[in-house]
Structure 1
Amino acid sequence: MRKLTFAMNTSLDGYIAAPGGDLGWSMPSDELFQWWSDRVAATGLALYGRRLWETMSADWPTADRQPGATPAAIEFAGRWRDMPKVVFSSRTIPLDWNARLVTGDAVTEIARLKAQDGGAMDIGGATLAAAAMRAGLIDEYTLVTHPVLVGGGTPFFTALDHWVHLNLVETRTFPDGVVLSRYETIR
């Protein structure tokens, strides 16, 4: 069975995007960017909601060919293109870069993918992750918390009908006061 992790940058007040989808507060240090790049390289399958897919696919497929691309951006772009991806959307959208589309029931498909053999899975996108969270499918929560209060926007956590008990398995501090916290779900 595959492990499913929900990992995102968050503001200190718990948002993955500020109002209007603003992500300007979450610019990573070189060290944090390398951590995210290494995570992409180790991901067996990435699950994306449509909006996160549109954000990522707008930049990363060609980021390594842009003037002034840094070695870190070149490395990340290649890793991102190579990583197998499943994109969940209720409508047909254009895909490329090692991705396939699922338009049916996301929870059923995520449960099916978890039951397979293979590498670890990451899930991204607030709506998709919320559905998996409510269904009890997430095995690990990784919060990369930036020291900023954005006051609203897209929350990392969704409302739940029951408690989810977690066990802290790692903390790490990055430059600029960014703190990584990893929690495993206690089953």
Structure 2
Amino acid sequence: MRRLTFGMNVSLDGYVAAPGGDIGWSVPSDELFQFWSDRVGATGLALYGRRLWETMSSHWPTADQQPGVTPAEVEYAHRWRDMPKVVFSSTIGAVDGNARLVSGDAVAEIARLKAEDGGHMDIGGATLAAAAMRAGLIDEYLLATAPVLVGGGTPFFTALDSWVDLNLVETRTFPDGVLLTRYETRR
């Protein structure tokens, strides 16, 4: 059975994006960027919601060919292109690269994918992750908390019908005061 992790950069007040989708506050240090790149390199399957897919797929497929690209960005672009992806959307008609599209019941498909053998899965996109969270499918939460208050926007956590007990399994400090915390769901 695969493990499912929801991890993103998050503001101290709990948002993955400020109002209007602004993520300018979450530019990672080189060390944090390398952490995320290594994570992408080790991911067996990435699950994307439509908005995050559109953001990532508009940049990373050709990022390694852009002027001024750093070696770390080249490495990330290659890892991102190689990583298998499933995109969940009922509004887009096709995806390209190493991705496939699911337009049906996201929760049922995520549960099916979790039941398979294979490397760990990461889920990205607050709306998609919220559905998996409410269904109790997330095994691990990974927050890279930036020392900024954005006052609103897209929350990392969704409203839940019941408590989810977690165990803290890792903390790590990155430059610029970013604190990584990793929690496993108690089952």
Is TM-score (shorter-chain normalized) higher than 0.5?
Answer: yes
Q: Does 1:50 align with 2:42?
A: no
Provide the rounded CA distance (Å) in 1 between the counterparts of 2:92 and 2:70.
33
Provide the rounded CA distance (Å) in 1 between the counterparts of 2:114 and 2:163.
22
Q: Does 1:166 align with 2:158?
A: no
Q: Provide, for residues 116-174 of structure 1, a one-character-per-residue CA deviation record: whole Å limited to 9, x for no partner.
A: 00000000001100000000000000000000000000000000000000000000000
Matches within 5 A, 1:85-124: 85-124=85-124
Amino acid of the structure 1 residue aligned with 2:87? V
Q: Provide, for residues 19-69 of structure 1, a one-character-per-residue CA deviation record: whole Å limited to 9, x for no partner.
A: 000000000000000000000000000000000000001110000000111
3-state SS of 1:59 partner: coil
Find the counterpart in structure 1 of residue 157 from structure 2: 157
TM-score, length of structure 1 as denominator length: 0.99
Unmatched 5+ stretches in structure 1: none
Provide the rounded CA distance (Å) in 2 between the counterparts of 1:137 and 1:77.
28
Q: CA deviation at 1:93?
A: 3.3
Q: CA deviation at 1:94?
A: 3.3
Q: Provide, for residues 93-124 of structure 1, a one-character-per-residue CA deviation record: whole Å limited to 9, x for no partner.
A: 33112000000000000000000000000000
Q: CA deviation at 1:177?
A: 0.1
Percent sequence identity is: 82
TM-score, length of structure 2 as denominator length: 0.99
Find the counterpart in structure 2 of residue 129 from structure 1: 129
3-state SS of 1:123 partner: strand
Provide the rounded CA distance (Å) in 2 between the counterparts of 1:32 and 1:133.
25
3-state SS of 2:152 partner: coil
- Give the number of equivalent residue pairs: 187
Provide the rounded CA distance (Å) in 1 between the counterparts of 2:77 and 2:112.
28
Find the counterpart in structure 1 of residue 144 from structure 2: 144
Provide the rounded CA distance (Å) in 2 between the counterparts of 1:32 and 1:116.
30
Find the counterpart in structure 2 of residue 14 from structure 1: 14
Unmatched 5+ stretches in structure 2: none
Amino acid of the structure 2 residue aligned with 1:168? L
Q: CA deviation at 1:90?
A: 1.1
Which range is displaced more, 92-101 or 76-85? 92-101
Amino acid of the structure 1 residue aligned with 2:75? E
Provide the rounded CA distance (Å) in 1 between the counterparts of 2:29 and 2:132.
30
Amino acid of the structure 2 residue aligned with 1:177? G
Matches within 5 A, 1:36-47: 36-47=36-47
Find the counterpart in structure 2 of residue 31 from structure 1: 31
Q: Does 1:186 align with 2:179?
A: no
